[in-house]
Structure 1
Amino acid sequence: MQIIFHIDLNAFYASAEASVDPSLIGKPVVISGMNRRSIVSTASYEARKYGIHSAMPLFQAKQLCKNLIIKPVNFDLYRRLSNDFFTIIRTYSSIIEIASIDECYVDMTDYIRINQCQPYDLALKIQNHVYQSLKLKCSIGIAPNKFLAKMASDMKKPMGITILTKYNLKELMWPLDISDMYGVGKKTVPKLKKVGINTIGDIAQYKNYNKLRTVAGKYALILYRKANGIDNQKVHVNRDDLKSVGHSTTLQYDSNDTDQLYEILNHLAKRVSLRAKKNNLVSNSVSITIKYSRFDTVSRQTILQDYINDYESIISTAKYLFDSNYNGQPVRLLGISLNNTININDQIVQISLFDHQQIKKEENTTRDFIHKLNKEHHLNLKTAADTLKRK
């Protein structure tokens, strides 16, 4: 039987700020933009005691807590800590699937078999390792598949460890509200409750399957199987495909804060540029991905006249595509890619109309100059010949 860990950093953005500024420890902190439409991206656990939560408008959060500390998004810090976090996890297993900037699935089956350790003890070791190295707390779910591991990691926070199997899921998971089930969207919850499906246990009951299908359609079978602890997905090892260079990030919570979304695009463009330059790759095709929900994704690309890999060109093109296609709804994921990349030494420089005219002008100037030289030379020769004749 495989043993899957889902490891989730707790209140990551807020915890990241506290890791570099200890004065924030134990205080109500939120990460947010500062414009009139700003929403809370992450709230520390101290801020949550005031009723503040992610996706709450910032002005409401400030009303709830007069001493609220507001920190702007700092993706350079978050990305550095995220990379360090995944580096630590890879010392235990190379079979790791990065789900977002602050969470991953890890197949620990071989590690546990080889080292003959208990899953709970290993999870505790990882928690301590991450905290001692990065000052970040994490929750870990342990299960025989990805879905149950994800559900388990959400059950105890912060620094929780939960083991969820087919033997205890009826006790631990079935009583939970359907809004707590991973894969059930916010819009689906009221529809399910309207037909009498209120808990995960209700989804798991075959007698409710027809009602489930009227709401979820062909997705009903997947929900039914997962509610019963059945999930055959393997941990997908993230690998780079150098035919394209792309990066994406899943926001901790959906956001339509344009300041935050632009900051994410800036961060992604920098990563794409650095990776392309590192591999000596260029491209004349830039694309973006905007994911609003599980079933609503927009991908757009544009072809450029020149081959590029610099940050300025990538971000200007990405923002143009974003502004042209963003519909104002809360965004769950953003991505930027350079497609059909080629080695920088293989590019064919295309001459633009302006360049062509400039070259033509230079050619004409050179030709006129040569003609002038020839004419003067011809006159000089003729003068010399006439002189000889007279002699």
Structure 2
Amino acid sequence: MRKVLHIDMDAFYASVEQRDDPALRGRPVVVAWKGPRSVVCAASYEARRFGIHSAMPAMRAERLCPSAVFVPPDFARYKEVSRQIREIFLRHTDLVEPLSLDEAYLDVTSNKLGIASATEIADLIRRAIRDETGLTASAGVASNKFLAKIASDWNKPDGIYVVKPTQAMAFLAVLPVGRLPGVGKVMQSRLHDLGIQRVEHLRSIPVTVLEQRFGRWGLRLHQLSMGIDESPVRPQRTPKQISNETTFPADLQLDELEPHLHRLAERTWAAAVRQSMLTGHTITLKLKTHDFVNLSRSITLTTAPHSAEDIVGAVLQLLTRVAPVAGIRYRLAGIGLSGFRSLQNGAIQGDLFAAGGNSNAGSVDR
């Protein structure tokens, strides 16, 4: 039986800003560039009371809370604090899988201090983070990654929640199916159509029926409903790509794509901001015709984009490289960002759309 922690910093970027500027403490702080296409990178808990959250358009956040203090993000500073926190993790185990700057999985089954209790380790880590960085973190403790991640959100902020193996089934039973990893709005709607609202309802459906309906994902749903997750904690997990795609309600002509590309660029940039993957130099445009022919065009920029507008500019340039053909319409479009480079200019390369679909999953600064 493994012992897994999920450590999640509380409103990380905003908390760093409030820590470093006492005038911001207790005030609704929004970490974002101001502008018509800017998105919220993080919101303090004071700002969240107004309904502001990560990835929300900054202009909407300003309307929700006119008194909010907008602070431009300082990712170099956040990375440095994240490095401090990572060092605290590594005092206990080398099995640390970062998901973003502000959250990580830790496998403490066999740990460096020989502590038998995973809960005690989580408490030690949270105390060290508070003492050494002045910030708070929440923790989930469980026998696998999936349960630990859900648990870490249970007592936020500055809390801990433990799901013992004997409690896992009851803990999961009452959860909405939307809390399961990989169950987005579309899948949630499909499950609701089957009368599946909570995890306990999902368990009542035979696994063969789920597999017939959803293929291999049906088996995965069944396993999650039973609290089963065998995925190991993998050290140094680094995203290789960020991409978004959309299938149109009706096939479109080439000259009708631009408004949709603007929205895709905004979503791709928001995902890059959330994951702090802002050094991608390669932008890819993917199109699928009405008869399911895939087209892609890529460009590698000298300077990484600094906004959604930069991505839009590159994508529209790529669009001019798609020759208009009479009768050809498009059923899908996608935008990807890759070719990430570290601050030390070490390249991290990846093939866009390799998994076929939206691969912008990641952490929202909670």
Normalising by structure 2, report the TM-score. 0.68
Q: Secondary structure at the match of 1:84?
A: helix
Q: Secondary structure at the match of 1:173?
A: helix
Q: Is the 8 A contact 2:101 2:276 kept in 1?
A: no
Q: Is the 8 A contact 1:82 1:101 kept in 2?
A: yes
Tell whether 2:176 aligns with 1:187: no
Q: Deviations over 1:110-134 (max 9, x none)?
A: 127x533422222111111112211
Q: How many residues align?
A: 299
Q: 1:299/1:230 Cα in 2 relative to 1: closer, same or farther (>3 Å)?
A: farther
Question: Bigger radius of gyration, 1 or 2?
Answer: 1
Matching residue of 1:275: none
Question: Distance between the aligned counterparts of 2:271 and 2:169, measured in 1?
Answer: 40
Question: Distance between the aligned counterparts of 1:75 and 1:18, measured in 2?
Answer: 15
Cα displacement (A) at 1:142: 1.0
Cα displacement (A) at 1:175: 0.7
AA matched with 1:92 = H
Q: Deviations over 1:146-182 (max 9, x none)?
A: 1111121122211121112331123322211112222
Question: Distance between the aligned counterparts of 1:266 and 1:170, measured in 2?
Answer: 35
Matching residue of 2:228: 230
Q: Deviations over 1:68-94 (max 9, x none)?
A: 111222221222222222122111111
Matching residue of 2:47: 47
Q: Is the 8 A contact 1:265 1:315 kept in 2?
A: no
Higher relative contact order (CA 8 A, sep 6+): 2
Counterpart mapping for 1:290-329 below 5 A: 313=302, 315=304
Q: Is the 8 A contact 2:285 2:333 kept in 1?
A: no
Matching residue of 1:90: 90
Q: Secondary structure at the match of 1:70?
A: strand
Matching residue of 2:291: none
Question: Distance between the aligned counterparts of 2:314 and 2:273, measured in 1?
Answer: 15
Q: Secondary structure at the match of 2:126?
A: helix
Q: Secondary structure at the match of 2:141?
A: strand
Question: Distance between the aligned counterparts of 1:137 and 1:144, measured in 2?
Answer: 23
Q: Secondary structure at the match of 1:51?
A: coil
Q: Is the 8 A contact 1:256 1:330 kept in 2?
A: no
Q: Deviations over 1:247-282 (max 9, x none)?
A: 76899xx9816876787999743xx9xxxxxxxxxx
Matching residue of 2:160: 161
Counterpart mapping for 1:43-192 below 5 A: 43-111=43-111, 115-192=114-191
Question: Structure 2: 5+ residue runs without aligned partners?
Answer: 245-263, 287-294, 320-329, 347-366
Which residue, out of 321, 326, 339, partners 1:336? 339
Q: Is the 8 A contact 1:290 1:335 kept in 2?
A: no
Question: Structure 1: 5+ residue runs without aligned partners?
Answer: 241-245, 273-285, 292-297, 304-311, 344-391
Q: 1:218/1:257 Cα in 2 relative to 1: closer, same or farther (>3 Å)?
A: closer
Question: Distance between the aligned counterparts of 2:104 and 2:334, measured in 1?
Answer: 23
More helix by share: 1
AA matched with 1:47 = A
Q: 1:61/1:268 Cα in 2 relative to 1: closer, same or farther (>3 Å)?
A: closer
Q: Is the 8 A contact 2:298 2:318 kept in 1?
A: no
Q: Secondary structure at the match of 2:94?
A: coil
Q: Is the 8 A contact 1:288 1:337 kept in 2?
A: no
Question: Distance between the aligned counterparts of 1:160 and 1:58, measured in 2?
Answer: 29
Give the root-mean-square deviation of aligned CA atoms.
4.0
Percent identity of paired positions between Structure 1 and Structure 2: 31
